[in-house]
């Protein structure tokens, strides 16, 4: 973070929340004109994103594919194309960055922009918001909704209310009349469980929350959530727009389906996950001290096991040995309850200096050690089998570079 600034004047609506509409589905409709105006569902087994046409039949995110098809028989199901979405996201963020230096990305498809200091060079926040929407439409070809308000929270709610393809400005004088009639589910941080707890006490709108004393909310929801919800319901939200927040963890996971898995098959999955996540860690120039193994079982319960090292690392072989240790401790339950998902997350991230980062790149020994280990455990065909399994599952498992050329970059396992 290299930008510091005084908090913007409390009386002006100068924070923009910009949020692409049905992002993945909109990219598909943009890239395939035959999908325009039709219900599009991205994701096969589970709905990752539904176009507004599909939402009109009641299709929602995270819904099972079967139910989605029942509700919307005319829908076109599309395999996700993550690279296309990443490219589109980058193009949209370029528009954001051309608007103001104070851009805080929240996810692949939304960001906060502080435009409070730009009045004299770029006009009022409302003018800027209109131009931003037009620029995204023109330069990237995607619909985007925008909320303009005095605080982050109000801007976020405003963009959600304005969807699809809308703009909504919350005048500082009218914050209560805008916010208080909304259902508690609209509040950032209130999900299904918290909403249920509030409903049990007859609290249904944000206005209902606003009349409960803070101590009452703390008793219901715990200290952090209680205070948070209390402040937001009184439209107090001092959080500034902070550009370039650092990532605190990095992970990857794979759903496996319901068939039983041998320990050997689980280990091959683990090797692929560790290889991928350690490579990503090195690419972003970080080291990790904690390795977390995530498992999900047939009945959808979850377990996590973690181990923290003395020193941070980005070394594939070391990470793998830690991950294997965690898995070894969970094999009995994995066998008994049926594993349906395995994930590896690296946390406690530190910034790598050049030398630390060079190590895993510079030596082929690390990758060779993993390959030898797998060959030892499962025989000489195991590596090829793992690569083929990965291809069948649509998972990129790059082959090793030319072993005759020690200077060639280390690719994968």
Partner DNA sequence: TCTGGGGTCCTAGGACCC
Q: Which of 110, 214, 264, 396 does the annotation list as catalytic?
A: 110
The answer to whether residue 104 is catalytic is no
The span from the CA of 208 to the CA of 233, in Å, is 9
The span from the CA of 366 to the CA of 307, in Å, is 21
For the bound state, the minimum distance from the C-beta of residue 206 to DNA, rounded and expressed in Å, comes to: 13
Compute CA distances 264 → 202, 325, 335, 389, whole Å.
52, 14, 12, 13
Name which position in 29, 51, 99, 252 contacts DNA (CB under 7 A): 252
For the bound state, the minimum distance from the C-beta of residue 346 to DNA, rounded and expressed in Å, comes to: 9
- Residue indicated by tokens 């594939």: 316
For the bound state, the minimum distance from the C-beta of residue 247 to DNA, rounded and expressed in Å, comes to: 4
For the bound state, the minimum distance from the C-beta of residue 158 to DNA, rounded and expressed in Å, comes to: 13
Q: Which is nearer to DNA, 44 or 358 (CB)?
A: 44
Name which position in 37, 164, 223, 403 contacts DNA (CB under 7 A): 223
- Residue 325 found at the interface with DNA (CB under 7 A): no
Q: Which is nearer to DNA, 304 or 351 (CB)?
A: 304
Which residues make beta-bridge pairs with 40? 76
Q: How far is CA 282 from the centre of its chain?
A: 19
- Residue 1 found at the interface with DNA (CB under 7 A): no
Which residues make beta-bridge pairs with 17? 112, 147
DSSP track, 124-161: -HHHHHHHHHHHHHHHT---EEEEEESSHHHHHHHHHH
Q: Which one of the spans 39-47, 142-150, 358-366, 372-380 is the region binding DNA (CB under 7 A)? A: 39-47
DSSP track, 94-106: HHHHHH-S-EEEE
Name which position in 30, 38, 69, 137 contacts DNA (CB under 7 A): 69
Name which position in 116, 343, 390, 412 contacts DNA (CB under 7 A): 343
Q: Which is nearer to DNA, 165 or 368 (CB)?
A: 165
From the number of C-beta atoms within 10 Å of its C-beta (0-12, 13-18, 19+), residue 227 rates as middle
- Altogether, the residues listed in the chain come to a count of 413
Torsion of CA 294, 264, 361, 281, to 10 degrees: -10
Subset of residues 71 to 110 that bind DNA, contact rule: CB under 7 A: 77, 106-110
The span from the CA of 295 to the CA of 306, in Å, is 11
Q: Which is nearer to DNA, 69 or 119 (CB)?
A: 69
The catalytic residues are: 110
Residues that bind DNA (CB under 7 A): 23, 43-46, 48, 61-62, 64-66, 69, 77, 106-110, 156, 160, 187-195, 222-225, 247-255, 257-258, 280, 289-290, 300-308, 340-341, 343, 345, 348
């Amino acid at each position: 973070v290299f930008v510091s600034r005084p908090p913007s004047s409390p009386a002006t609506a100068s924070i923009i929340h910009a949020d692409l509409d049905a992002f993945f589905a909109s990219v598909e409709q943009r890239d395939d004109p035959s999908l325009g105006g039709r219900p599009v569902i991205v994701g096969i087994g589970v709905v990752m994103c539904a176009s507004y046409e599909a939402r009109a039949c009641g299709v929602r995110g995270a819904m099972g594919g079967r139910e989605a098809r029942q509700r919307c028989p005319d829908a076109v199901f599309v395999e996700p194309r993550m690279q296309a979405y990443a490219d589109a996201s980058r193009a949209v963020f370029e528009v954001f960055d051309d608007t103001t230096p104070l851009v805080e990305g929240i996810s692949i498809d939304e960001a906060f922009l502080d435009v409070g200091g730009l009045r004299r060079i770029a006009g009022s926040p409302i003018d800027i918001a209109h131009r931003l929407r037009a620029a995204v439409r023109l330069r990237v070809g995607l619909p985007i909704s925008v909320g303009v308000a005095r605080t982050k929270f109000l801007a976020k709610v405003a963009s959600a209310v304005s969807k699809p393809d809308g703009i909504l400005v919350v005048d500082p004088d009218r914050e209560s009349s805008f916010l208080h009639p909304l259902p508690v589910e609209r509040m950032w941080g209130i999900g299904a469980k918290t909403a249920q707890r509030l409903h049990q006490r007859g609290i249904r709108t944000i206005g209902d929350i606003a009349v409960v004393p803070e101590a009452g909310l703390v008793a219901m929801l715990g200290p952090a959530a209680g205070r948070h919800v209390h402040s937001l319901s009184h439209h107090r939200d001092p959080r500034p727009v902070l550009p370039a927040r650092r990532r605190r963890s990095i992970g990857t996971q794979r759903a496996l389906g319901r068939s039983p898995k041998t320990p050997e098959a689980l280990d091959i999955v683990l090797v692929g996950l560790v290889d991928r996540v350690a490579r990503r860690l090195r690419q972003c120039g970080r080291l990790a001290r904690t390795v977390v193994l995530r498992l999900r079982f047939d009945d959808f319960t979850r377990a996590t096991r973690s181990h923290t090292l003395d020193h941070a690392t980005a070394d594939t072989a070391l990470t793998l040995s830690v991950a294997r240790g965690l898995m070894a401790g969970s094999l009995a339950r994995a066998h008994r309850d049926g594993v349906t998902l395995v994930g590896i997350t690296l946390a406690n991230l530190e910034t790598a200096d050049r030398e630390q980062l060079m190590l895993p790149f510079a030596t082929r020994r690390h990758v060779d050690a993993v390959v030898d280990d797998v060959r030892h455990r499962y025989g000489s065909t195991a590596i090829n089998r793992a690569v083929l399994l990965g291809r069948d599952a649509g998972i990129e498992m790059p082959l090793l570079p030319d072993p005759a050329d020690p200077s060639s970059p280390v690719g994968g396992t």
